[in-house]
């Protein structure tokens, strides 16, 4: 990734589909002086995504795209991100797979956070699978987005212990708390 020059922050879009706790965390991070990014656009694939409230709270431009027709959605998103001069994209609980064409346009400039120790547990229901398999460790990963699901180069990873008393709720909570530390740290690593 290009190094930062001067004080200009890199115009960033965050893509969400749900609660948006990572979005909120990234917005807060973006406002501190040492953050290399500013968040200028929020895109949601879900009409009533709870996370959209942070777009309103922090007065950030936002738009919902209906992914019923992926081609049209992506074409319209590309037009918008180009218009807004977005240079970097963070996926944060974005539950859609982006097409080759879209990723090509932003090659090496899209990152994602995933709630597992990739390459273990790509896809959905990661915590459920960790508990079912009685894994001793789990965690979260920030990685570059490529055309293969949850498979791009790993930027940073955080490992946590899974205890015998952990259940879906406790593990989700524990890992989400780590995600909120890891995503900003990974972004600092990318740009510094």
User: Is 114 known to be catalytic?
Assistant: yes
User: Residue 93 burial (CB < 10 Å; 0-12/13-18/19+)?
Assistant: buried
Asked if 176 touches ligand GAR (CB under 6 A), the answer is: yes
User: Residue 135 burial (CB < 10 Å; 0-12/13-18/19+)?
Assistant: middle
Stretch that binds ligand GAR, among 31-39, 58-66, 71-79, 108-116 (CB under 6 A): 108-116
H helix intervals, the chain: 21-30, 52-57, 70-83, 100-105, 126-132, 168-191
Asked if 115 touches ligand GAR (CB under 6 A), the answer is: yes
Query: Residue 24 CB, nearest distance to ligand GAR (Å)?
Result: 8
Asked if 19 touches ligand GAR (CB under 6 A), the answer is: yes
Interface residue with ligand GAR, options 13, 14, 18, 139 (CB under 6 A) = 18
Asked if 20 touches ligand GAR (CB under 6 A), the answer is: yes
Query: Pick from 32, 67, 45: which is nearest to 187 by CA?
Result: 32
Residues that bind ligand GAR (CB under 6 A): 18-22, 51, 92-93, 113-115, 176, 179
Residues classed as catalytic: 114
């Amino acid at each position: 990734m290009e190094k930062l020059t001067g004080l200009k922050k890199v115009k960033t879009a965050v893509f969400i589909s749900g609660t948006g706790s990572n979005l909120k965390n990234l917005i807060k991070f973006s406002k501190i002086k040492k953050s290399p990014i500013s968040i200028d656009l929020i895109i949601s694939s879900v009409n009533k995504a709870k996370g959209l409230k942070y777009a309103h709270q922090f007065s950030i431009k936002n738009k919902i795209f209906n992914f019923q027709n992926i081609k049209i959605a992506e074409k319209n998103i590309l037009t918008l991100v180009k218009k807004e001069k977005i240079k970097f994209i963070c996926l944060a609980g974005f539950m859609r797979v982006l097409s080759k064409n879209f990723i090509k346009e932003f090659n090496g400039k899209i990152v994602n956070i995933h709630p597992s120790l990739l390459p273990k547990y790509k896809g959905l229901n990661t915590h459920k699978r960790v508990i079912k398999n009685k894994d001793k460790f789990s965690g979260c990963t920030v990685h570059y987005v490529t055309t293969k699901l949850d498979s791009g180069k790993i930027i940073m990873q955080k490992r946590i212990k899974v205890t015998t008393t952990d259940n879906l709720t406790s593990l989700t909570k524990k890992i989400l708390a780590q995600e909120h530390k890891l995503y900003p740290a990974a972004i600092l690593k990318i740009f510094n």
